[in-house]
Amino acid sequence: MLVQDMARALLLAAAAFVLTLFVGAWWVRFARQHKLGKQIRLDGPQSHLTKMGTPTMGGVMIVSTVLVLTVLFNLVDRWSMLLPLAVMVSFAVLGGLDDWLTLTKSQSKTYGFTVRYKFLLMLAIAFIASLALYLPKPFGLEHDGLVQIPFVGERNIGVWFIPIATLFIVFISNAVNITDGLDSLAGWNLTMAFGAYGVMTFLAEPRLTNLMALCFTLVGACAAFLWYNAHPAQVFMGDLGSLALGAVLAVVALQSQQWLLLPVVGIIFVVEAFSTLIQTGYFKWTKRRYGEGRRIFKMAPLHHHFELLGWSQVQVTQRFVLIGTVAAMVGISLAITFARPSPGTERAGTPPTVMVEQAGE
């Protein structure tokens, strides 16, 4: 049974890779014909100006492939998969609308949604997802606030799970979006992160085989996207892809109860997001205090800082991916080594974590 579950997951990964390649070829042609070209920041590194007009919204090739394969092969009698699919599609629609508004320049200076409006929409979707995770059947997956804490084991944080999970989904989604600024950078780190959670869910007790299959489907789709996103990129992920994949990564981490390890597994996403928050906060604080805004980094997010230090785009991407790969291995190691059963669950039988996989199915 163990071998069959892994074989199914790997076949789904291979199928996702092949299908995404075909969808990607069509999307690149379609985007070029309809002039769905990316707008580039004029205040960014000058080397990025050559990317102006490159087709965007490439995340549609990943989202559509994962949706189709999961519905066909990993949904019937596995209804807990509805939640990550719903979150992925919801954030994809939000990101796709933002991309479209940016392309049509309907918002004059800001383009797309305003930051506040976009953030509120993301919060609303994430809040509904958090309720679905926490609430008992038939309203949710009966997660009950469980979390695996490294060095400690399983603990229940109760109703606090809802606001924490909501902010967690929004933060990770935005972090992936911020990271998606260099060719292949977000794609590679998403591939590593989903692969890490695929391994974690396979080795969990009990094994979360359906969640594992979803993770490896995402791995295959993200890997195929890199075929077209390799430097120099033929297509960009866009908000459609980065917001959707960041959100579904967060939901996968929450469903597996290993969400505390996502800052390790996705260290590049976290560092990129915090570099932007630190830069923005410090600039505003110094402007109020000294009348002139000051910066810690040459430019945020962090990958732009290294570009301005003289690193090429390929060097930044490769080095960040190497760090992300090592971080993913460390995350898997922590999940395996320090997971402990809850008090009173050492006896023979099924531990409480089984509800995460079986609830709603």
Binding residues for Mg(2+), by number, are: 177, 239
- Encoded tokens for 38: 């990316």
Asked whether 154 and 355 are in contact (CB, 8 A), the reply is: no
Distance CA 189, CA 210 (A): 22
Closest to 188 measured CA to CA, from 318, 316, 67, 61: 318
CB 250 within 8 A of CB 262: yes
Angle between helices 161-179 and 185-203 (to 10 degrees): 140
Rounded distance between C-alpha atoms, residue 242 and residue 225, angstroms: 12
Query: How many CB atoms are located within 10 Å of the residue 139 CB?
Result: 11
What does the alpha-carbon distance between residue 120 and residue 112 come to, in Å, rounded to a whole number? 14
Alpha carbon of 299 to those of 60, 179, 200, 321: distances in Å? 29, 13, 35, 20
In the annotated binding site, the residues are 177, 239
According to DSSP, the residues that pair with 149 across neighbouring strands are 153
Q: How far apart are CA 46 and CA 64, in angstroms?
A: 33
